[in-house]
Amino acid sequence: MKWYRVKSTQQNPENKNITAKQGDLWKGGGNGKTTDFSNGPQEFTVTNTVISSPNDRNAEFRNSVDDAAVRAKLEGKNIYEVSLVNKGGLVSPVVIEWTYKDGSKEIETLPAEIWRTNEVEVKKVFLKDKEVVNVVIDPKLETADVNVSNNVFPKKPSANKFDEMKKSNN
């Protein structure tokens, strides 16, 4: 799971210098994986679409993109990239429960067709107004998942057999 925000830039009318707002940058240990959202979002910049040559086959599409409107739509939003892995090979819908910083929850269901282009791994991007603190895949245990320990982000420490035996003896 990754968390992004569009980098906000401001133009100083006095000296025309572009400065970026200070923000929490993602510091996920260099391997691209995080265990929670404590380091904040990774910021990125939305650049203008550019037509590389008159023979560019996508020139008509690129001319129709309103870069300012795209930036305005993404301003202040939280962008979450969720990587889903199908370890068992059974294609099924994906139910996601989002828990927000204010305590509210939302459940989204992705249809089984999400696996049609790649039945092993899928990355899906979500645009959210609120900041997410917890994500649970299949919160009501409605799908055929045999290992539910990997369905929560951030990961919760699980008790090992020794700890369970210790508790039962007390």
CATH code assigned at 7: 2.60.40
> What are the tens digits of pLDDT across the range 28-49?
444 455 567 777 788 877 777 7
- At 13, the pLDDT band (50, 70, 90 cuts) reads very low
> What are the tens digits of pLDDT across the range 116-159?
999 999 999 999 999 999 999 999 999 888 788 888 988 877 66
DSSP 15: T
Q: Is residue 106 part of a domain?
A: yes
Using the structure block, give the residue that is written with the tokens 């020794």: 162
Q: In terms of residue numbers, what domain contains 139? A: 2-45+77-169
pLDDT reading at 55 higher than 80 = no
pTM of the model: 0.68
- At 169, the pLDDT band (50, 70, 90 cuts) reads confident
Residue 72: its H or E element:
helix 67-74
What SS3 state is found at 126? strand
Strand order in the sheet with 105-110: 105-110, 94-100, 132-137, 152-153
Domain count along the chain: 1
**Could you count the other beta carbons within 10 Å of the beta carbon of residue 2?**
18
Q: Is residue 65 part of a domain?
A: no
Contact 135, 105 (CB under 8 A): no
Mean pLDDT of the 68-87 span: 87
pLDDT score at 150 = 86
Q: Is residue 50 part of a domain?
A: no
20 vs 157: which has the higher pLDDT = 157
Q: Is residue 68 part of a domain?
A: no
d(CA 62, CA 156): 44
pLDDT score at 26 = 37
